[in-house]
Homo-oligomer: A and B are copies of this chain.
Amino acid sequence: MTTVGIVGASGYAGGELLRILSLHPHVDVEVATSQGHAGENVFKVHPNLKGIADLTFSGDSPEEAATKVDILFMAVPHGTSNRQIPKLSETGVKIIDMSADFRFRNPADYPVWYGWNHTSPDILEKFVYGMPELHRNELKSCRFVAVPGCIASSAIYSLAPLAKAGLLKEVTVIDAKIGSSGSGNKHSAATHFSERYNSIRIYSPFGHRHIGEIEQELSLLAGSKITVTMSAHSVNMVRGIMTTASVFPEEMPDAAMVWKTYRAMYGNEPFVRFMMDKNGLYRYPDPKLVVGSNFVDLGFALDSHVNRIIAIGSIDNLIKGSAGNAVQSMNIMEGFDEREGLMMAPMRLV
């Protein structure tokens, strides 16, 4: 059994890791830290996990936790990993970081998108961007993983084949819709149920920090600098992301060609599904169909009125957009079947 620890296990990402890893057949969760809840049963904070994750939060420091496990999942706020990981990286523990602190290849992206300078650029280059479908080979032999951002994941999955095919020439415009769990467990006036219910809040009309990741990964695939922009809306649901991206190619491809690029990239992927149908209720990806699972659903449409490709993606922000890709990356690192612990069927009727 591989032993794992979760630093910051009382948050939503931490809880989702606990939910998945507790039932993983090759993993023992040895330690789940929470400074605020040390000594409490996990189910006091994650009551759904009663009978699933019957352990107690530890007050261990990240260093202490690192000594007890093979792999440490860091589920701490952005900016915290950056301070904690340099020391941890010398201990021999493998690290899977859920935060944004090690996602960029280029240190210069940190001041642009996060407003601070990265203090450990040497460690940065040891991290692999934990998107198995794009970085599987690097994951096989790495020790450090930076798990992609949730909205970034949906956008990158849907645009990657088009980027690789050289179709992203003009600015790509992404419209993102995300459920409330994306902003974590901290309550505020903005998350008060009476204010948030039935609301559509454009919380980031421009300048969303995930744009940096999206441009990084698409540019890698395209072999040239790709520019995207995005408007992000929080909508009336808890889980799920949908991205609708408008791509303006120099020349419109036909549907068969677009299909081919998607199949070439994802045809054998266990967690990528093509969701397109000529009729029926579900003609395109819809978060309702993926929530509760590690699937990413993809689809596209071609708009001849203005020569636009619409690339659509849906994921569960806490699974394929976070804990699921973390565990899938771990499975690859550890040589497990990639699907272990992740074959959760979407519930749909919820």
Task: List A residues at the B interface (Cβ < 8 Å).
Answer: 12, 15-16, 19-20, 22-23, 44, 46-53, 171, 173, 175, 177, 179-181, 185, 187-202, 205-207, 211, 227, 229, 231, 233, 235-240, 242, 244, 246, 248, 270-271, 273, 275, 277, 280-282, 284-293, 295, 301-303, 305-306, 308, 310, 312, 314, 318, 343-350
Cα A69 to Cα B96 in complex, Å, equals: 45
Q: Is the CB of A238 within 8 A of B199?
A: no
Residue of B nearest to A271 (CB): B51
Between A175, A180, A246, A349, the greatest number of chain B beta carbons within 10 A of the residue's beta carbon is seen for A349
**From B185, B285, B310, B348, contact of A231 by CB (8 A):** B310
- Asked whether A239 lies within 8 Å of B347 as measured between CB atoms, the reply is yes
Name the residue in A20, A47, A177, A185 with the highest tally of chain B Cβ atoms < 10 Å from its Cβ. A47
Chain B residues in 8 Å Cβ range of A308:
171, 173, 206, 229
Asked if A47 and B193 sit within 8 Å, CB to CB, the answer is: no
Asked if A306 contacts B242 (CB within 8 A), the reply is no
Cβ 8 A contact of A348, one of B47, B53, B173, B284: B47
Q: Is the CB of A200 within 8 A of B239?
A: no
A-B contact pairs, 29 of them (CB 8 A): A19-B347, A47-B289, A48-B289, A48-B293, A48-B345, A48-B346, A48-B347, A49-B345, A51-B273, A173-B173, A181-B194, A185-B189, A187-B187, A191-B192, A194-B238, A195-B281, A198-B237, A198-B287, A198-B291, A199-B288, A200-B235, A200-B240, A202-B310, A202-B312, A205-B301, A206-B308, A227-B306, A235-B235, A292-B350
Docked CA distance A346–B188 (Å): 23
With A237-B236, A343-B23 as given contacts, are A242 and B200 in contact (CB-CB < 8 Å)?
yes
Cα-based distance from A44 to B173 in the complex (angstroms): 31
Complex Cα distance A171/B308, Å? Answer: 10
Chain B residues, Cβ within 8 Å of A199? 286-288
Additional A-B contacts beyond A173-B173, A207-B303, A344-B344 (17; CB < 8 A): A49-B345, A52-B346, A173-B308, A185-B192, A187-B188, A187-B192, A193-B197, A197-B197, A198-B288, A201-B286, A205-B301, A205-B312, A231-B244, A233-B244, A236-B236, A239-B349, A239-B350
Contact A206–B303 (Cβ < 8 Å): yes
Assembled-state Cα–Cα distance A293/B344 (Å): 11
Give the chain B neighbours of A344 by CB distance below 8 A: 344
In the A-B complex, the 4 residue pairs with the closest CB atoms: A206-B303, A48-B348, A175-B175, A205-B301
Is B173 touching A246 in the complex (CB atoms < 8 A)? Answer: yes
- A200 B349 Cβ-Cβ under 8 A: no
Residues in B with CB closer than 8 Å to A49 are 345-346
Q: In the assembly, what is the distance between CA of A180 and CA of B344, in Å?
A: 23
A305 contact set on B, CB distance < 8 A: 206-207, 211, 227, 229
| Residues of chain B with a CB closer than 8 A to A179's CB | 194
Tell me, rounded to whole Å, the shortest Cβ–Cβ distance linking A346 to chain B. Answer: 4
Nearest B-chain residue to A302, judged by Cβ:
B206
In the assembled complex, the CB of A244 is this many whole angstroms from the nearest CB of chain B, namely 5
Residue pair A175, B231 in contact (C-beta under 8 Å): yes
Chain B positions within 8 Å of A284 at CB level? 201-202, 205
